Chains A and B, each alone.
Chain A
Amino acid sequence: MSDKLSARSRARIENSIFLAAVILLGLVTENTYYLQIMTFIGINTLLALGLNMLMGYAGQVSLGHAAFYGIGAYATAILSGTYALSPWLALICAVGGAVLVAFIVGLPTLRLSGYYLGMGTLGFGMIVNILFREWSSVTGGASGFVGIPVLEAGPMVFMSGKSYFFLVWAVVLAAILICRRILRSRMGRALRAIHDGENAALAVGVNTHYLKLKVFMFAAALGAVAGFLYAHFVLFISPESFGFMVSVKMVTMVVIGGMASIWGALLGAGLLTLLPEVLHGFAEYEMIVFGLVLMLVMIFMPQGLTRGFLDIYHASRKKRQ
């Protein structure tokens, strides 16, 4: 049935369902813990969306993406906390800074491919994280940064709870729309061409290096926005929140949800945010179960859950017929 609809109207329907679901969830949920978890899911979705553009569509793996998340968070923390700048100005600086860093780092790094690109981004992420930890006069060092102001816009105060939930998910919706717009454009087609075969893309006139750099910068910008939202939500940041394992977790969100799929990013972010919360009940078995789930999903559903479930669904329908 859905085949009959054009891609654009299908996208519109999906977006409307998404918007309605967000509004409904926001209005119905009263429990602050649930609201908090859903806010975190939103922040992680932003991270996964950016990385998905880079990994799923452009086919470039980054194992250091938490660096941009951290740059966003620390930039706003330092500018609005230490220097009492307006957080909204700080946001512009944070995103600008992250994009600039992505440009400088991406220029040489994105010439690498395969494991070499993975290792290069990993090294970059580690260096940034060590900088957060060691530059303690500015970042507060390993003990973290305290004193991040609460976001305000006119009469609105975005304290944790519903207002923050809606703020974050509004940004997520905007990010989804932007991603869709990019994917529909010439750039999106060029990106997919790179993913399918870089040499072929080069041959038909796609400036692959420039394009990869652009996507890298876009993903960095989304990461910085997520970092900004994270910092003003929890009001305390420390280097562990932006370490290697966080980068790995982001990659996992993208892959588990299903690469090259916007809703896959949402699903992956949701699952990987919820899973540790659910596993708290397992106490000391938490890590074992988490590792096991990760392995099993990847072993049996290497295409991610979105595709995995679709395959199971189709298989069971075939059987019945």
Chain B
Amino acid sequence: MQEIIQYLFSGITTGAIYAVIAVGLSMLYSSTELINFAHGEFVMVGAMAMVTFWVHLAWPLPLAILAAMALGCTLGLLFERFAIRTAKASNPIVLVIITVGASIFLRGTGMLAWGKDPFSVPSFSSHESIEILGAALLPQSIWIVLGAIGLAGGIHFFLKKTLTGKAMVACAVNQKAAWLSGIPSERMAVLAFAISTGCGAIAGIFIAPITMSSYDMGTILGLKGFCAAMIGGLGSLWGAFAGGILLGVLESLGAGLISSGLKDAIAFILLLLILYIRPGGLFAAKEAKRF
């Protein structure tokens, strides 16, 4: 029992991180119909920026977090402006390969900037764990889960209540119609990119204290984020969020109760099951047909 609660705690923590990654991917997909294979690299950028700003430069924590987020958003902006928008391609496979190129480029840049060694980042607050029902809960986990909920809630508010957000939803529904009614859809795509990569960077900021950060940490996290987004339903905000939490919990339970070696396989087995049984994802009805 105690063990299971412990697995749940760690599962929800990693799940919240997957959720943030998946929310970013899902946001981008719904407004631009693009799957960004470099998304995981923005997670790496967020985590490594924390290493630099907080650990090495000893900036105050809020400033370091803001700076890391800003870095993620800026890189996303540049990527959209110089790579995606300049591309003449209409074929989505080509766009996907451009994002793959960007991911290799970012990984290479990360290796050059931070070297090949892994770094650790201290927790945001005290290290002492809180005991609940005999299981230890790290304060960092609370930060992560609260942060993830806050982020998803903020995006929800933005999309539903602000004019810019509503314009973005309109672009997601039908880009041409949105453009015809006076919404600058190109600017919305840039914004979606910045928010999406910003989410990636936030995931990196969250994950930095609970794992070792290195230049090559992004790929697998990005792929897990895809799985989470697919499980929840690509393009749905809360679907992606729920998919992330579900994936984290099942992974943690599977690793603890069955075999830790198969931990990484769980995400992909779930992905295949969802695709075969309910391709639209658990929480969405619409099925995308592009490529």
* A interface list, Cβ under 8 A from B: 55, 61, 108-109, 112-120, 122-124, 126-127, 130-131, 133-134, 244-245, 248, 251-252, 255-256, 284-295, 298-300, 302
- List, in ascending order, chain A residues with CB within 8 A of B271's CB: 119-120, 122-123
- 11 A-B residue pairs with CB within 8 Å: A115-B288, A116-B279, A123-B272, A126-B265, A251-B93, A255-B97, A287-B111, A289-B108, A291-B101, A294-B104, A295-B83
- List, in ascending order, chain A residues with CB within 8 A of B226's CB: 119, 122
Identify B219's interface contact among A109, A244, A291, CB under 8 A.
A244
- List, in ascending order, chain B residues with CB within 8 A of A113's CB: 289, 291
Closest to A117 in B: B291
Task: Check if A127 sits within 8 Å of B83, measured CB to CB.
Answer: no
Q: Mark B199-232, 1 if CB is under 8 A from A, else 0.
A: 0000000000000000000010001001100100
- Total interface residues on B, using CB and 8 Å? 50
Closest to A245 in B: B219
Task: Check if A123 sits within 8 Å of B105, measured CB to CB.
Answer: no
- Complex CA distance for A252 and B279, rounded to whole angstroms: 26
Q: Taking the complex as formed, is B285 at the interface, i.e. its CB lies under 8 A from any CB of chain A?
A: no
- List, in ascending order, chain A residues with CB within 8 A of B89's CB: 298-299, 302
- List, in ascending order, chain A residues with CB within 8 A of B268's CB: 122-124, 126-127, 130
Closest to B94 in A: A302
- Complex CA distance for A256 and B98, rounded to whole angstroms: 11
Q: Mark B176-198, 1 if CB is under 8 A from A, else 0.
A: 00000000000000000000000
Task: Check if A298 sits within 8 Å of B275, measured CB to CB.
Answer: no
Interface of A is mostly: helix
- List, in ascending order, chain B residues with CB within 8 A of A244's CB: 219, 223
Q: How far is the CB of B51 from chain A (nearest CB, A)?
A: 19
Task: Check if A290 sits within 8 Å of B104, measured CB to CB.
Answer: yes
Task: Check if B94 sits within 8 Å of A290, measured CB to CB.
Answer: no
Task: Check if A294 sits within 8 Å of B101, measured CB to CB.
Answer: yes
Identify A119's interface contact among B102, B109, B275, CB under 8 A.
B275
Task: Check if A116 sits within 8 Å of B104, measured CB to CB.
Answer: no
Identify B111's interface contact among A109, A130, A284, A299, CB under 8 A.
A284
- List, in ascending order, chain A residues with CB within 8 A of B265's CB: 126-127, 130-131, 134
Identify A115's interface contact among B35, B90, B91, B108, CB under 8 A.
B35
- Complex CA distance for A289 and B112, rounded to whole angstroms: 12
- Complex CA distance for A292 and B271, rounded to whole angstroms: 31
* B interface list, Cβ under 8 A from A: 35, 37, 83, 86-94, 96-98, 100-109, 111-112, 219, 223, 226-227, 230, 234, 259, 261-262, 264-265, 268-269, 271-272, 275-276, 279, 287-291
Task: Check if B264 sits within 8 Å of A292, measured CB to CB.
Answer: no
Task: Check if B275 sits within 8 Å of A123, measured CB to CB.
Answer: yes
- Complex CA distance for A55 and B226, rounded to whole angstroms: 22
- List, in ascending order, chain B residues with CB within 8 A of A251's CB: 93, 97
Identify B86's interface contact among A117, A126, A299, CB under 8 A.
A299
Task: Check if A134 sits within 8 Å of B261, measured CB to CB.
Answer: yes
Task: Check if B98 sits within 8 Å of A295, measured CB to CB.
Answer: yes
Identify A298's interface contact among B94, B264, B290, CB under 8 A.
B94
- List, in ascending order, chain A residues with CB within 8 A of B289's CB: 113-114
Besides A127-B269, A244-B223, A294-B98, 7 more A-B contacts (Cβ < 8 Å) are A116-B279, A134-B261, A252-B100, A287-B104, A292-B105, A299-B87, A302-B87
> Which of B94, B111, B269 counts the most A-chain CB atoms under 10 A from its CB?
B94
> Which of A109, A114, A131, A290 counts the most B-chain CB atoms under 10 A from its CB?
A114
Task: Check if A118 sits within 8 Å of B291, measured CB to CB.
Answer: yes
- Complex CA distance for A50 and B219, rounded to whole angstroms: 26
Closest to B83 in A: A295
> Which of B97, B279, B287 counts the most A-chain CB atoms under 10 A from its CB?
B97
> Which of B98, B259, B268 counts the most A-chain CB atoms under 10 A from its CB?
B268
Task: Check if B112 sits within 8 Å of A285, measured CB to CB.
Answer: yes
Closest to B287 in A: A116
